[in-house]
Amino acid sequence: MTRLADIGAAVIGSGFIGTVHVEALRRLGVRVAGVLGSSAERGAARAADLGLARGYAGLAELLADDAVQVVHVTSPNELHHPQVKEILAAGRHVVCEKPLAMTSAESGELVQLARASGLVHAVNFNLRFYPLNQHVTELVRHGGIGEVRLATGHYFQDWLLHDTDWNWRLEKDRGGALRAVGDIGSHWLDLMTTLTGRRVEAVMAELTTFIPVRHKPAGPVETFSTRRAAETIPIRIETEDTATILLRFEGGGRGSVAISQLSPGRKNSLTYQVDGSTAAVAWDSERPEQLWIGRRDEPNQLLIRNPALMNAAGRAAARLPGGHVEGFADTFGAAFSAIYADVLAGGPSSSPAYATFEDGHEEMLVGDAVLASSHSGRWVEVARPATTAGADRGPGREVPAR
């Protein structure tokens, strides 16, 4: 294969984010062969809506399609592990939505299977690919803010504010034991590790469920839907609405993050400030074209996304000239460009800019430490066993306060 147009992809799931995957692939010029929905009828209907040739009746039918070399997994979280296993076994490259799996034992197994396969394996931590975040990654790597000291911020949404708001993510056996942290906090944590080049070493976390009972609609619900159902069933909620986490990074850095799906007015606001010894950088996903650069002894700067003013990494992720606003959906194009360069090459490169299964597994391990700390009320180190399987691993070791 030499060109993107020679590659065929299929997308599992055609809800909120599956549709964004299809659109981004088409913009790149990848052939989208079809989609797989929750039923043959739903898949056929969504394929027709999106102008795709095929709505597959099942995963076996999708994997029997020789036109497909890459499979994108955008189904609910509990399906990622079994579907990815089948995809790798069928010899297809895979792009999986976050979180990679429901548990670190599952994600560890997927890391091993992916490594053994020689296939491209990516997790869609797309927020890395806002051009200004790519710019910051390269800036920090080259010492542009000095020694990294403090990373702080939040990830706030409000779409689960009411007790009548419902989504499959609220069900522990469909979304995972961590909800706000797994669903959106994982993006923030992956982004901080990417920007600073430092992994999280230990956490001290508090998880809170402010709405202990929610009213589940009797019928299906779309993600981010604000419609109220007439008939509902009361359901006890076992996962967190909010999280407050203190962080220790490798190399001595410190941090804190607040995560919430109940913050009125914040639709999808990820913010960070990374303070270094010579400069600071701050960014807000609801104003993604602006990067604040703070300095002590000279005026602060506001860098507006502009290929002419960003470093090579920032330029590579940008599509349009400055002032021609890029946003959330564009990050998928930039992420997929990096992933599909490896697909064209036939296998994973040594240190890709996109998140791999190792990175997806890493966020599951940090999640384990968050959960363990929330139970014990103590600092917990992120446990990284030599084996990535994770099955023989405990929830992490408690560490003394420093």
Ligand X SMILES: NC(=O)c1ccc[n+]([C@@H]2O[C@H](COP(=O)([O-])OP(=O)(O)OC[C@H]3O[C@@H](n4cnc5c(N)ncnc54)[C@H](O)[C@@H]3O)[C@@H](O)[C@H]2O)c1
According to the binding rule CB under 6 A, does residue 314 interact with ligand X? Answer: no
* CA-CA-CA-CA dihedral for 89, 90, 95, 96, to nearest 10: -50
> Please, which residue, 5 or 64, has the CB nearer to ligand X?
64
Among 8, 9, 13, 283, binds ligand X (CB under 6 A): 13
Looking at residues 220 to 249 of the shown chain, list those that interact with ligand X (rule: CB under 6 A).
222-223
Among 30, 36, 145, 355, binds ligand X (CB under 6 A): 36
Query: Nearest distance from residue 385's CB to ligand X, in Å?
Result: 25
> Please, which residue, 85 or 378, has the CB nearer to ligand X?
85
Site size for ligand X (CB under 6 A):
24
According to the binding rule CB under 6 A, does residue 107 interact with ligand X? Answer: no
Q: Helices then strands (H, E): number in the chain?
A: 12, 18
Place of tokens 């103590």: 378
Nearest to 250 by CA among 189, 204, 193: 193
Which whole-number Å values give the CA distances from 141 to 26, 134, 137, 309, 373, in the listed order? 32, 11, 6, 18, 30
According to the binding rule CB under 6 A, does residue 261 interact with ligand X? Answer: no
The torsion angles phi and psi of 337, rounded to 5 degrees, stand at: -60, -45
According to the binding rule CB under 6 A, does residue 77 interact with ligand X? Answer: yes
Among 7, 9, 11, 12, binds ligand X (CB under 6 A): 12
Contact partners, residue 342, CB within 8 Å, separation at least 6: 120, 348, 349, 352
Which whole-number Å values give the CA distances from 211 to 165, 221, 242, 350, in the listed order? 11, 19, 10, 44
> Please, which residue, 31 or 81, has the CB nearer to ligand X?
81
Distance of CA 179 to the CA centre of its chain: 13
> Please, which residue, 126 or 137, has the CB nearer to ligand X?
126
> Please, which residue, 117 or 331, has the CB nearer to ligand X?
331
Could you list the residues that contact ligand X (CB under 6 A)? 12-18, 36-38, 42, 74-77, 79, 97-98, 124, 126, 168, 183, 222-223
